């Protein structure tokens, strides 16, 4: 396969994303048909279907494209800085990468604001994105508090994005101030959760011991049933 042939699907994927963003900057989200996007991207409906299963999936494609741009630009320059500074840098670079699509995203955000199904789908897209953004900032998202960190990052990003969408200052002072406030608030929540986890450690240990005892009791009953031939004999319940 030639290099030109191997990159063709990626070029068409980007063309579809760009076409949707161009249309969304000028028209309501609910007025845009997949045929409109395909025509604007100069691809057939068959090619569109191979690359994206729906119009909404194109938004997911945009998110992945922005993620890739941010991740490729990630360096170790801030490795020694506090976690809040590292996340701040990564998220501001993400807003910078989205700048060409700002008007489209502003209109899409307004159109989908009261659509719970779409919002749930977009939350999942945001979760996947923030997993990589936090990784780029050197933040661990595994372990007991991993889910809290991820959803917290989504909330921080969503709240800041609302300010960013209305911030037309090239310096983005309002956006940066909002992001700093949101990160400080999120930091306090995580610290509180970590403190609560430490304080509740003895109770969790007791709970684990209790549950282990119950599991052992159930295991003994199952073994007794096995010995009587009941476990695999449906008629034993009669």
Q: pLDDT (tens digit, 0 to 9) for every residue of the chain, 238 residues total?
A: 444 444 467 799 999 999 999 999 999 999 999 999 999 999 999 999 999 999 999 999 999 999 999 999 887 777 788 888 999 999 999 999 999 999 999 999 999 988 998 888 999 999 999 999 999 999 888 877 888 888 899 999 999 999 999 999 999 999 999 999 999 988 887 766 554 455 444 544 444 555 565 555 555 555 554 554 444 454 333 2
Would 3 be classed as within a structural domain? no
- The predicted pLDDT at position 223 comes to 56
Is residue 61 domain-resident?
A: yes
Task: Answer yes or no: is 69 within a domain.
Answer: yes
The alpha carbon of 43 is separated from its chain's Cα centroid by a whole number of angstroms, namely 28
Domain-located, residue 172 = yes
CA-based nearest residue to 123, from 67, 40, 192, 63: 63
Look at residue 212 in the predicted model and tell me its pLDDT: 62
Boundaries of domain holding 61: 56-199
Distance CA 132, CA 66 (A): 11
Contact assessment for residue 37 and residue 44, using Cβ atoms and an 8 Å cutoff: no
Question: Does residue 49 fall inside a structural domain?
Answer: no
Would residue 230 count as lying in a domain?
Answer: no
Domain count, the chain: 1
Residue 44 resides in a domain? no
Cβ neighbours for 22, distance < 8 A, ≥ 6 positions apart: 40, 104
pLDDT of residue 114: 87
Q: In terms of C-beta density within 10 A (0-12 exposed, 13-18 middle, 19 or more buried), how is residue 85 classed?
A: middle
Whole-model pTM: value is 0.75
Place of tokens 């579809």: 16
- Residue 108: inside a domain: yes
């Amino acid at each position: 396969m030639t290099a030109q042939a191997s990159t063709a699907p990626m070029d068409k994927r980007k063309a579809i994303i760009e076409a949707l963003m161009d249309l969304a900057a000028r028209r309501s989200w609910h007025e845009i048909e997949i045929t409109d996007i395909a025509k604007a991207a100069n691809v057939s409906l068959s090619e569109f279907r191979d690359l994206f299963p729906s119009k909404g999936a194109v938004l997911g494609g945009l998110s992945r494209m922005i993620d890739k741009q941010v991740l490729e630009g990630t360096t170790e320059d801030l490795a020694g800085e506090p976690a809040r500074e590292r996340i701040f840098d990564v998220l501001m670079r993400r807003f910078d990468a989205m700048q060409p699509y700002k008007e489209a995203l502003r209109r899409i955000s307004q159109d989908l604001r009261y659509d719970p199904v779409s919002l749930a789908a977009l939350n999942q897209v945001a979760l996947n994105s923030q997993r990589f953004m936090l990784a780029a900032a050197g933040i661990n998202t595994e372990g007991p508090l991993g889910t809290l960190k991820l959803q917290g990052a989504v909330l921080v990003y969503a709240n800041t994005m609302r300010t960013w969408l209305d911030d037309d200052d090239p310096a983005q002072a309002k956006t940066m101030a909002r992001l700093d406030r949101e990160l400080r608030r999120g930091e306090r929540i995580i610290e509180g959760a970590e403190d609560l986890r430490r304080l509740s450690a003895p109770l969790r240990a007791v709970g684990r011991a209790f549950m282990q005892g119950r599991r052992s009791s159930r295991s003994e009953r199952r073994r007794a049933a096995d010995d009587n031939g009941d476990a695999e004999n449906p008629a034993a319940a009669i």
